[in-house]
Amino acid sequence: MGVRVMVLDEHRLLAEALASALKLRGHRVLAAAAPAAGAAELVISRAPEVCLLGTATPAEPGVFEPVVRIKRERPQIAVVVLGPVPSPRGIAAAFAAGASGYVRHDERIEGVERALAKARAGEVAISPQLLQGAFAELLNPAAQPDDEGSRLLRLLTPREVEVLVRVAEGEDTRLIAAGMEIAPSTARTHVQRVLMKLGVGSRLEAAALAARTGLLDRAGLSAVAADFPAGP
């Protein structure tokens, strides 16, 4: 038996495409919309069995407030969040708000149908693979950018940090040597040491790593601290 469902997503094309696919498979779609606001009011007024609620930022504070309101005013409505590959925090936030499930945006239509059926039956609707990925990340958390940037910064001498900043700004060996008032051969040696310590094979990789980990921002803070040391 088909599910009475609403599809809400900020990307209207995605909402309408998913709604069309569900209609073709025998489900009763009450609405497919992309409201910038008023999602909770729309769901409460139409009272579907299940609401598929899309979000692009599952870990952002307050993003699941519509779920909280729907569950407070119409607890019989099951809400399944439709979102990107989430962090464990994103999944936890969805369920803490009262969601019955979490489905990835790139899930096959069969997976979406299974989630709808489970949510309507009062079951938790989340794939084992998604749970496995969340638990794996919790057990083996990736280093945060600032933490990784700090670790890498500690590997470099102040001179090498300056070299890395210049590399990131696109300076070649000649410009680095002129700017630091050192011989080109010395500049080349500094660059090679920076690459070796960072574990990368090229200047481009070094610049990308520095940007990704926030190392350059950390280097700037260190320079300010050196210029303005704390008083006694």
The pLDDT of residue 136 is: 66
pTM: 0.58
pLDDT tens digits along 170-186: 889 999 999 999 999 99
Mean pLDDT confidence for 77-99: 85
Token couple for 108: 């096959």
Mean pLDDT confidence for 195-222: 77
Q: Is the pLDDT of residue 23 over 90?
A: yes
The pLDDT of residue 145 is: 46
Per-residue CA distances from 130 to 6, 51, 56 (Å): 23, 20, 17
The pLDDT of residue 99 is: 93
Mean pLDDT confidence for 191-197: 90
Q: Is the pLDDT of residue 52 over 90?
A: yes
